[in-house]
Structure 1
Amino acid sequence: MRSLIFALLVLAAGSHAADSLQLRLLTEDYPPFNMQTPGKQITGSATDIVRELMLRSGIRYSIELLPWLRAYNRAVLEPGTCVFATTRTDQRESQFKWIGPVGETSWVLFGRSDNPRVLNNLEEARRYRLGGYAGDAVAQYLIARNFDVDLATQDEQNVRKLLAGRIDYWATGKHSGFLLLAREKVSNIRPVLTFNTTFLYLACNIGMSDQLASQLNDTLRKMQKDGTVAKINARYLPD
């Protein structure tokens, strides 16, 4: 009898812990993975995947869209906080518990259409001035390799700098780059070189338990296996 009562108490305590768990999920405007509609709803392929992941895991959550560096730094410093969609790099590896991937993207150099120059590889871009934005993994990758990178606080600023001739190429994600050009109604900028492919993750504060991180990754793998992730991506990502 005592054993039965003890088991019921343990189950009740575990259920209460799950019910009381809430994560703060932070993101940025990075279409098509995460973005805000005119009605202020936060959506996107990675956002929908993360929402479904939280639902299946029984975790209460809030989602807030912030400038990237603020979102990133809060996830590093504040327990119970995660940021997405985040490129997993060696520099960032020890700062988070990683859930994913929740997306995949290619890194591209965009140039003006009236620029006849051909780049065969990234090394050939070393002599030129590249545009990136502060805190972004693409810019960090290039800076670490001693490229000349002119940083902006928002990626759309690089579109204007490229058109004005203040930078020679704009380094950004493929999908987000094309969508940003469409949003800005710019047609005279084209992709010049694809130089990397990366996966994107939900990056959670290092204080998250290994057990919860493992549970979330297991649930995400089930979502990938049953076709849920593919169906969500099909709504946002071009073929």
Structure 2
Amino acid sequence: MRSLAVGLILLAAGSRAAGPPALTLLTEDYPPFNMLQAGGRIGGSATDIVRELMLRSGVRYSIELLPWLRAYNRAVLEPHTCVYSTTRTDQRESQFKWIGPVAENPWVLYARSDSPRELHNLEDVRRYRLGGYAGDAVAQYLIARNFDVDLANTDVQNVRKLQAGRIDYWATGKYIGAQLVAREKAANLRPILTFNTTFMYLACHAGSSDQLVAQLNDTLRKMQKDGTVAKINARYLHD
């Protein structure tokens, strides 16, 4: 009987020591917020913010880089799983519990440099074909407003489609657009219109602990207040 009691005490102590389950953090290649860096390390401004957030909060975690739709769907379906950097929209609101924002993301339209059209607002491209990619909030926003959106599997494909004349404009985030244009050496493409500004979050499975979510949000607010977030962003985000 004594050995059973001792065993139960040790089991309880072990459970307390283990703490809450580790979080699986999923992301995509979406520079400069999240991206694969030299040596196979996952980095970027949002990744650095999330890493510091987990460190300060004492939360165990791992990070995986996946195609966007796989990462997003896993976070919807799998407990103790989060996805970033996720644009917070009305359609997505109930699917997750939200920590953030971790990034601000203006949306822009790119055109070829030889495009003769002058744009004043989004309605000016109503009759043209726009490039977006599957599952992305920018594309979902435009589709919901009945724009003609030609979907690609990745955003970099839209750089090539715009250069080839297969789409008339490319709708994307301001910072990733600049990164992909530089990466593809697409000097003939330029941003011509900013049509929305959104905020991106760490989006966690809907069954996540309210206490944990509140703790992470509180820690993130402290990081914003003490200048940590601004210092990280200054390393990555350039106009």
How far has the Cα of 1:21 moved from its partner?
Answer: 2.4
- Map 1:14-33; keep pairs closer than 5 Å: 16=17, 18=19, 20-33=20-33
SS at match of 1:39: helix
Identity of counterpart residues, as a percentage?
79
Give the AA of the match of 2:180. L
Tell me the equivalent position of 2:107: 107
State the distance in 2 between where 1:209 and 1:43 align: 26
Deviation string, structure 1 residues 58-106 (Cα, Å, up to 9, x no partner): 1110000000000000000000000000000000000000000000010
2:170 paired with 1:170 = yes
Tell me the equivalent position of 1:45: 45
SS at match of 2:151: strand
Give the AA of the match of 2:17. H
State the distance in 2 between where 1:38 and 1:235 align: 16
State the distance in 2 between where 1:221 and 1:38 align: 30
Tell me the equivalent position of 2:126: 126
Deviation string, structure 1 residues 17-54 (Cα, Å, up to 9, x no partner): 53x42000000000000000132110000000000000
How far has the Cα of 1:15 moved from its partner?
Answer: 5.1
Tell me the equivalent position of 2:3: none
Give the AA of the match of 1:217. N
2:87 paired with 1:67 = no
2:88 paired with 1:88 = yes
2:216 paired with 1:211 = no
Give the AA of the match of 1:112. R
- TM-score normalised over the length of structure 1: 0.93
- TM-score normalised over the length of structure 2: 0.93
Give the AA of the match of 2:119. L
- The runs of at least 4 aligned residues of structure 1 exceeding 2 Å deviation read 12-18
How far has the Cα of 1:118 moved from its partner?
Answer: 0.7
State the distance in 1 between where 2:46 and 2:16 align: 28
Tell me the equivalent position of 1:224: 224
Deviation string, structure 1 residues 112-156 (Cα, Å, up to 9, x no partner): 001021110001111000000000000000000000000000101
How far has the Cα of 1:171 moved from its partner?
Answer: 0.3
SS at match of 1:166: coil
State the distance in 1 between where 2:38 and 2:70 align: 22
How far has the Cα of 1:13 moved from its partner?
Answer: 8.1
Deviation string, structure 1 residues 141-182 (Cα, Å, up to 9, x no partner): 000000000000010100111011110000000000001110
- Structure 2: runs of 5 or more not aligned: 1-9
How far has the Cα of 1:16 moved from its partner?
Answer: 2.7
Give the number of equivalent residue pairs. 229
State the distance in 1 between where 2:17 and 2:152 align: 45
Tell me the equivalent position of 1:197: 197
